[in-house]
Amino acid sequence: MSWLDRLLGSFGAEPDAPVRGDPSRVIATQRVLDRMAPLIAADGGEVRLLAVEDDDVVLSWRGACKTCPSRADTLQGALEPELRSALPWLKLVRSER
């Protein structure tokens, strides 16, 4: 990612589609992600919630996170434990393909 991409972030990007899934689960999941957002933003990245499909959470990576080689570590070591502690129904956390 170039310095200009980091500076501009998602400027000019298409608006996001609404998050799919059960509204109460979407809200609960988004609360956890909102708590984690400043830590991820400190490195120039962003994680967005795309969907809550049954007991699965689907995420999208943006900014520096999109091409970061440590993205899997961030998912498994930081995001997933936080989500699991707050969401007893959670089975799987995955990134969009």
Q: How many whole angstroms separate alpha carbon 30 and alpha carbon 41?
A: 15
Q: Which CATH architecture has domain 3-8+16-95?
A: 2-Layer Sandwich (3.30)
| Per-domain residue ranges of the chain | 3-8+16-95
> Residue 12: pLDDT band by 50, 70, 90 thresholds?
very low
Residue 7 confidence (pLDDT): 56
Q: What is the pLDDT of residues 26-80, one digit of tens each?
A: 999 999 999 999 999 998 899 999 999 999 999 999 998 888 888 889 999 999 9
Q: How many whole angstroms separate alpha carbon 58 and alpha carbon 96?
A: 6
